[in-house]
Amino acid sequence: MAATARSKAELDEEFAELYRSHLRDVYSYAYYRVGNHHDAEDLTEQTFLQAYRHFERAQAESDGRPLRPWLIRIAHNLAANLYRDRSRRPQTPIDDTSGLSAVHTTEDLVEGRDELARILAGVKELPNDRREALIMRFALGMDNREIARALGKTDGATKVLLHRAIRQLEGIVGDEHTRS
Amino acid sequence: MSTPGADIETLLSRALQPVDPPDGLSSRLESTLVDLTEAAVVELESWELRAMRDPRNWVRPVVAVVVTATAGTALVILRVRAGQKRRVAVAHGPADLAARTAKAVAGEARRVIGR
């Protein structure tokens, strides 16, 4: 019993460390995924509660690899559920990324507001998997291997996915630039 | 103004900056996990069989048993609490509310145990 209690305490401490290390990552992912702080908070909260529930098993199966991709994958699945639920109730706007500019500094807004707005609008137009890959790479700083684990793809497929996402975004932004 | 193709990755880095979570989120989430785990233990220790005659008292001890007995701890209580406002809104009186709540607890407990 004492051994069980001790291991539970250790597990909780390790989970707390994971939580402290990756709260910002999960929140950033959630925010760019759902487009507003309210839903991002809910998504973050649910992600960590679900992570807590499965932490012991995930740790055992991780074989020492970082758990950040696993956390982001949970958030990814929960976000997909959120969209699915909302698509059944279309009165709630989905995929609203209009609030994204809220995270940028005054300097950003003054220096390149239009440019950043075009980039964000372009990201929004991308297919889900490409958009998510870009969020993971640029907002969270994840490498190809981490993104691959989070999306359940191979490293090679992820590299291609990122490449195509950037090329497509260039096309979108370029078209927009030409029109204006 | 920069050209679109030249530094798209630089622009992406600027556009997709990490977002700090609101001040309250971290402490709220942390204390939720801690509180619910501790509450489950305390609840189980103070469980009086006599009180179980009243259906309104069923929820917390049942949750405490489930929570203490599994590593899923906080989830049952949190999920049951999350749906409580909705149940209050649709319930036809206290008995109906108790029945709905007990059903929700059983459902969440099954989900946790079934993991």
What is the tens place of the pLDDT at every residue in A133-151? 999 999 999 999 999 999 9
Residue to mutate among B2, B16, B80, B81, with most A CBs inside 10 A, is: B16
A123: pLDDT strictly greater than 90: yes
Structure-token pair, residue A109: 């807004």
pLDDT at residue B91, as a whole number:
74
Per-residue burial over A124-141, b = 16 or more CB atoms within 10 Å of its CB, e = otherwise? bebeebbbbbbbbbbbbe
Residues 6+ apart with CB under 8 A from B63: B40, B43, B76, B77, B80, B105, B109
Confidence of residue A81 (pLDDT cuts 50, 70, 90): confident
Using alpha carbons, select from A136, A125, A140 the residue that is nearest to residue A162: A136
pTM: 0.66
d(CA B44, CA B33): 17
A127: pLDDT strictly greater than 90: yes
Measured in angstroms, the CA of B96 and the nearest CA of chain A are apart by: 27
B115: pLDDT strictly greater than 50: no
Give the A:B interface size as CB pairs under 8 Å.
Answer: 109
Q: Name which residue leads in pLDDT, B48 or A132.
A: A132
pLDDT at residue A67, as a whole number:
96
Per-residue burial over A18-43, b = 16 or more CB atoms within 10 Å of its CB, e = otherwise? bbeebbbbbbbbbbbbbbbbebbbeb
Residue to mutate among A4, A10, A41, with most B CBs inside 10 A, is: A41
Numbered residues of chain B with Cβ closer than 8 Å to any chain A Cβ:
1-5, 8-9, 11-22, 25-26, 28-30, 32-33, 37, 71-75, 78, 112, 115
Q: Name which residue leads in pLDDT, A25 or B52.
A: A25
Q: Name which residue leads in pLDDT, A32 or B103.
A: A32
Mean pLDDT score across all residues of chain B? 66
Cα angle vertex A42, ends A30, B100, to 5°?
145
pLDDT at residue A5, as a whole number:
53
Cβ–Cβ < 8 Å for A89, A169: no
A3: pLDDT strictly greater than 60: no
pLDDT at residue A169, as a whole number:
95
Most confident of A78-92, B23-37, B60-74: B23-37
Instruction: Delineate the domains of chain A, giving CATH numbers in brackets.
Output: 1-96 (1.10.1740.10), 100-180 (1.10.10.10)
